[in-house]
Chain A
Amino acid sequence: MLDPQIIDELKSIVGERYVLTSPEDLVAYSYDATFTSARPNLIVLPDNTQEVSEILKVASRELIPVVPRGMGSGLAAGSIPFGGGMVLALTRMDRLLDVDLDNMMATAEAGIIASELADAVAREGYFYPPDTTSVHYSTLGGNVACNAGGARCLKYGITGHYVMALEVVLADGRIMRVGGKATKNVTGYDLVRLLVGSEGTLAIITEVTVRFIAAPEVERMAQAIFPKLTDAGKAINAVLASGANPSMVEIMDETAIKSVEEYLRIGLPLDVEAILLIQTDGDEADAVRGIEIAAEICRQNGAREVRVATTPEEGKEMWEARSAISGSLGRIRPNKLGEDITVPHSAVPEMIAKIKEISAKWDLPIVIFGHAGDGNLHPNILFDKRDPEESERVESAVGDLFRAAVEVGGSLSGEHGVGVLKRPYLEMAMGAVAVEMQRRIKQAWDPKNILNPGKILPTKGAK
């Protein structure tokens, strides 16, 4: 429990009702979208950057751990306060500050729901491409802190490619602005790039400026049904090598198909091993030509059926099936461990085969889906946390998954981040020198180690 005097001091900064300490509140801020949880000592919900700065001054004086939190949709346990302390929830800071049509950039507070920013840009006729599946239930700040990706990043890149400027609050409470609206800028180290993906360990992000682009005229979606998973793997590479120029190539395997079909009942085939979802965009001629090329390649590579959406609604329905996978898995087993490995896209078929082997070896169902076009797969291990023996097998299977990914030239995380769940494997993926350099960066930014302590970097002495 925290000193009541400190709680009063925090209340005087943000107001009585925005410092939460009831057992109910501690439960509600103990989790994210993973299966882990730990209760904080209190939750503070600031309204503006100045308040964040004041809060950090108190925290650094009193050495209180500060765990920033957006909407808690994270898949790396990044916002869970394992060592207790304060959850700093940024959800009240959700104002859209500016949509600058001349420079094609938008600025918002970090707690804005990502889709609200994208919608505001779309209302002006433009396009903000980062599209996490969780776009309606994650914050822009969380997207930046995790450098979130999405289906369209195959063609359009990830969140970090759009971030132009940030306002952050440092561990000691100082406010810093980095980046700007100039598209070229090599003045000093690129601190924007460093902060993107820093998972709340270097600073609290309070304001974000992103660029946006002209909207593609049309989008075309196709759904290809493959009796054989390996054929789908081949088709992915063939489509990428063709002139189709897809904006997304998504895969779902048979377990994913079953799970979604049970949820949505939209008539997905239950006797096949994989479905590919391919989207093209651009002007009408380009999009149509691209989707036709992709459809033809799928047919030549063993697709039993290829449906090309004729209306945007039909395309949306096809995407709905893909976006529902992750959420629908709770129907099969109570817990899931969703991984986020990335491999060179040519290695996708090989990686899928390896995942199947790991699933058989540890006798655990593993659902495979993800952004196959950029080699970012989400193997989800389904289990029941209440069974300790099963949970141990999950640990072993995760280790195997990571090793397999690194072996084929890939990495641990494409978009969800390291958090705590992947921490033990960081050195294996990056090497001891790179980990040591990051440790030094962390020390420079947060010498008292109060910002999201224990995240990303393996604690000294631990494995």
Chain B
Amino acid sequence: MTSDRVEAPVRTVGAVADELYLKCIRCGKCLSVCPVYRETRIETLSPRGKVALYRAVGEDDLEISEVYAGKFYTCLMCDACREACPSGVELDLILNKARTDLAYSGLMPESLRRLDETIIAAGNISGEDNEQRLGWTANLESMPIGLDHGGQAEAAYFVGCVSALFPASYSIPQSLVRVFERAGVNYALIGGDEHCCGYPLFLNGEGERALAMAHHNVEAVRDTGAARVVMSCPSCYHMWKHIYPELLDNGELDGLEIVHETEMLAELAKEGRLCFKPWPVTVTYHDSCDLGRKSGIFEAPRHVLRAIPELTLVEMADHHENSLCCGGGGNLETYDRELAQALPRRRLQQAQDAGAKYIVVSCQQCKRTLFGGARRERIRIRTMDLAEVVSEQLEGEADA
């Protein structure tokens, strides 16, 4: 597909693009929710500014350039602006379309291009041998039953690149399979047959290149015989649930149920298959962009937390649909590390203001970002994934 790329700038005109930006009345409301604007206070990096740039190009008042590109990559693709816009401007489409135009014009920044090429070549984001995807199972007490499910699995667990390949995130899949095993869930692991879901490509405006991965992943999951596929990564979930159906032929996903860790944990708690010991702490729940705003899953994780005796759940200033991105979205970390590292502070402050000692997330990326932020800023607050919380609080587990 690389050969399809034209190196000459293309312009974003046409009825669709026109419709998209015309609705912006420049009220400024989106500025108040944009993590990048809140940090930089620079209009050119704000959602309203991006729409204005996109429009200026569409109306022949501006040429696309590297500088133009830089504005669109300085974005978390967090959708907070779309959620806030009273005028119905579909900023998610504008932001994605702008990146798509840039990719086709050869203006994608080098660091992001390398990421895309790595994914295509290696099947994962880190470039390691894809067979290493089971590294996290190495120091479990016993071999996970998911490796030997005998075709009887009710759910295939799609682990995701970060949890599978970055040791700092191993404890998420480790915890989740431990919970599955305690609750008697028969699950399947697909190890090296799992490929990157393709979401980073989509974010970089190269969603079409994710097609082969989508085919491959669906087939690998089908091969397990399980009727469900469960993810702990919200981005994989969003990709499978909302973008695969657009990429794949009709019917390819038929009969396959796509669920997120939080939904499954909520289900198990409701069925009484998880018994918790008391945990007398104040926690807050951080809605990730891909699971919350983009997928509408807000209550499942909160149900699980409320099922833990003596736990007090508090909300931060920005929550549910209005949740504030941790700073880990949109591949910003790859493009502008300094800015990405400045972003978690505000979120951590909100958690502190709410009186929380723990931020519970259900996303390995949010966990990494918030954990790193807390360490850099010396903020005394702990970040845990919901799977880790559940695993530690199961009745009969030793106290952590």
Contacts and interface: CB of A to CB of B under 8 A. Distances in A.
B22 A71 contact: no
Contacts of B316: none
B87 interface: yes
Interface in A321-349: 324, 326-331, 334-336
B150 to A, nearest CB: 49
Contacts of B25: 33, 35, 327, 329-330, 335-336
Contacts of B258: none
A128 interface: no
B296 interface: no
B53 interface: yes
Given A33-B25, A113-B32, A326-B86, 9 more contacts: A24-B68, A32-B26, A72-B28, A72-B43, A263-B86, A324-B86, A330-B86, A330-B88, A331-B88
A166 B88 CA distance: 38
Given A136-B32, A137-B32, A327 B42 contact: no
A92 B41 contact: yes
Contacts of A23: 62-63, 65, 67
B49 A28 contact: yes
A108 to B, nearest CB: 14
B41 A24 contact: no
B277 interface: no
Contact of B44 (A24, A32, A34, A92): A24
B29 A137 contact: yes
A277 to B, nearest CB: 17
Given A136-B29, A331-B87, A336-B25, A94 B41 contact: yes
Contacts of A115: 32
Contacts of B86: 263, 324, 326-328, 330
A113 B37 CA distance: 12
Interface in B64-79: 65, 67-68, 71
Contacts of A71: 28, 31
B61 interface: yes
B27 interface: yes
B56 interface: yes
Nearest to B89: A330
Nearest to A45: B42
A335 B86 CA distance: 14
Interface of B: 22-29, 31-32, 41-44, 46, 49, 52-53, 56, 61-63, 65, 67-68, 71, 85-89
Overall SS of chain B's interface: loop
Contacts of A27: 44, 49, 52-53, 56, 61-62
Nearest to A90: B41
Interface in A387-408: none
Nearest to B46: A28
A327 B87 contact: yes
Contacts of A137: 27-29, 31-32
Interface string A100-135: 000000000001010100000000000000000010
Contacts of B32: 113, 115, 136-137
B67 A89 contact: no
Contacts of B46: 28
Contacts of B53: 24, 27-28
Interface string A16-45: 000010111101111111110000000001
A263 B87 CA distance: 7
A31 B25 CA distance: 10
A94 B31 CA distance: 15
A206 interface: no
Interface in A41-58: 45
A24 B27 contact: no
A72 B44 CA distance: 12
B28 A73 contact: yes
B28 A29 contact: no
B165 to A, nearest CB: 35
